[in-house]
Amino acid sequence: MLDLRYIRENAGAVKKNCADRGVEADVDLVVGLADRRSALLQELEGLRARQNQLAKAVGKERDEGARARLIEESRELKERIPELEEELHRVEERLTEEQLKIPNLTHPEAPIGKDDSENVEIRRWGEPKEFGFEPKDHVELGEALGIIDFDAGAKTTGSKFYFLRGDAVLLELGLVRFALDLLSGRGYELAMTPDLARDRMLLGTGFVPRGPETQIYSVEDTDLSLIATAEITLAGQLADEIVEEGSLPRRFAGLSHCFRTEAGAHGRASRGLYRVHQFTKVEMFAFTTPEQSEEMHREMLGIEEEIFRTLEIPYRVVDICTGDLGAAAYRKYDVEAWMPGRRDYGEVTSTSNTTDYQARRLGIRYRPEGGRPRLLHTLNGTAIAVSRTMIALLENHQREDGSVVLPEALVPYVGREVLGPPHR
* Positions marked active-site: 260, 275, 347, 350, 388
Q: Which amino acid is at 17?
A: N
How far CA 406 is from CA of 83, 281, 284, in Å, comes to 70, 20, 24
Cross-strand partners of 367: 244
Cβ atoms of 96 and 10 within 8 Å: the answer is: no
Using alpha carbons, select from 405, 395, 422 the residue that is nearest to residue 131: 395
Interhelix angle 167-185/293-310, rounded to 10 degrees, is 140
Q: Which residues of 271-299 are buried (b: 16+ CB within 10 A; e: fewer)?
A: ebbbbbbbbbbbbbbbbbeeebbbebbeb
Bridge partners (DSSP) of residue 352 are 332, 380
Q: Give the angle subtended at the CA of 156 by the CAs of 150 and 160, to the nearest 5°.
A: 40
Residue pair 380/361 in contact by the 8 Å Cβ criterion: no
Q: Which of 187, 387, 174 is nearest to 299 (CA)?
A: 187
